Chains A and B, each alone.
Chain A
Amino acid sequence: DTEVTQTPKHLVMGMTNKKSLKCEQHMGHRAMYWYKQKAKKPPELMFVYSYEKLSINESVPSRFSPECPNSSLLNLHLHALQPEDSALYLCASSPGLAGVSGELFFGEGSRLTVL
């Protein structure tokens, strides 16, 4: 079983709605990530938090707003999304930054549909 928990598993929202995706890990990892994955594509990095500070923003539109309330939690606030934002949103964590400290631990994802 994954040790990164994401909620909700499925979300359907209209373009004017405001919703949030949540992610939680209790492995003591200091880096947390949001990825977006479209069908039959690899995960695309959106944001990286390191020690609860935003360290990477991959030029993501402002309609996506990340938040890291503490070292175990990561949120992604969604507002005024477009249908093309429909995708699987994956949260991940790692002991240090990916590529340096090894394994990324992924959650099972939140499947988002924007109508």
Chain B
Amino acid sequence: GENVEQHPSTLSVQEGDSAVIKCTYSDSASNYFPWYKQELGKGPQLIIDIRSNVGEKKDQRIAVTLNKTAKHFSLHITETQPEDSAVYFCAAPNLGNTGTASKLTFGTGTRLQVTL
């Protein structure tokens, strides 16, 4: 099964600075890598995802990069704002014995705190 490691576990940045969260995965056949943001008292919400046929994807202040050779992907948040404060989870498909994606394996989470 897939093993996803996520670092750092906590990250504190000043408003306006950039934040980077990194994940590694174990299954070289994995081909889809989403990032979820979980605010206090809410369920996780997809903020960006990337498929293995591209190396980078951007959506306004958020970007994700993928290095298939090294089996790692990263979330980049620029010009951070207080509302970016939340827990962020990376994930990768768990391909199971048949090689078909049946579920997602989540990373351990990063608590991002954006201070004024």
Given contacts A48-B102, A97-B103, A98-B104, are A103 and B109 in contact (CB under 8 A)? no
A107 to B43, CA, bound (A): 6
Residues of B within 8 A of A98 (CB): 93, 101, 103-104
Nearest CB on B from A30, distance (A): 14
Contact of A99 among B36, B102, B111 (CB under 8 A): B102
Beta-carbon contacts under 8 Å, B22-45 to A: 32, 34, 36, 41-45
A33 to B60, CA, bound (A): 30
A60 to B41, CA, bound (A): 25
How many pairs of A and B residues are in contact by the CB < 8 Å rule? 67
Contact of A43 among B41, B44, B92, B101 (CB under 8 A): B44
B20 at the interface (CB under 8 A from A): no
Write out, one digit per residue, whether chain A residues 1-29 have a CB within 8 A of any chain B CB (1) or not (0).
01010000000000000000000000000
A4 to B43, CA, bound (A): 10
Closest to A98 in B: B104
B32 x A99 contact (CB < 8 A): yes
A106 x B43 contact (CB < 8 A): yes
Write out, one digit per residue, whether chain B residues 97-116 have a CB within 8 A of any chain A CB (1) or not (0).
00011111011110100000
Contact of B101 among A2, A97, A108 (CB under 8 A): A97
Write out, one digit per residue, whether chain A residues 42-60 have a CB within 8 A of any chain B CB (1) or not (0).
1101001000000110000
A99 to B45, CA, bound (A): 15
A2 to B41, CA, bound (A): 13
